[in-house]
Amino acid sequence: MVIDLLENQADFINDVSNMIYKEFVVNTGSKMTFDDVFTYFSNTHSKQLPITLIAIEENECIGTVSIFENDLKERKIYKPWLASLYTKSEHRSKGVGQNLISETLKIVKELGYKELYLRTENASTYYQNRGWSFVETISDDKGQEIDVFKFIL
């Protein structure tokens, strides 16, 4: 498995856009279109936010994660954020997500940040078991309960 910047692997922009659109747009009822998602991932960077990483195995994109300046408009004071962590179902429980997170932490530290935040609706135990500290539970603008975690770099 290779972890690389999406910016270096433009052939996978469509794959990443499909994964994120299906998991985080369609499933949440967002009004974003696939074209919006594709345009977003066509404009990620390597040295400034937003940054997207991908996991590649046998020339297939099997997972992705992004670093956003903000992923929760109710908490603009927290930044940056680990966001849109996704691993294809057939590759789960094989360390893909953990490898993506590890590379994300390295990049965030290189950018000079001292902490990284994330939001989750259903994976709190996963992050607690990997050294993330619980910050708070809040309700977003749709009334959904969200746990916010922080990782100190």
Is residue 74 very low, low, confident or very high in pLDDT (cuts 50, 70, 90)? confident
pTM above threshold 0.75: yes
What average pLDDT does the chain have? 95
* Lowest pLDDT segment from 33-37, 71-75, 127-131, 135-139: 71-75
Predicted pLDDT at 65: 98
Predicted local confidence at residue 112, as pLDDT:
97
Res 29: pLDDT = 75
- Residue 22's alpha-carbon distances to 9, 35, 41, 106, 150, in angstroms, are 21, 13, 14, 28, 26
Provide the pLDDT for residue 103.
97
Sheet strands side by side (includes 145-152) = 2-5, 51-57, 60-68, 81-87, 115-120, 145-152, 133-139
User: What pLDDT shows up at residue 51?
Assistant: 98
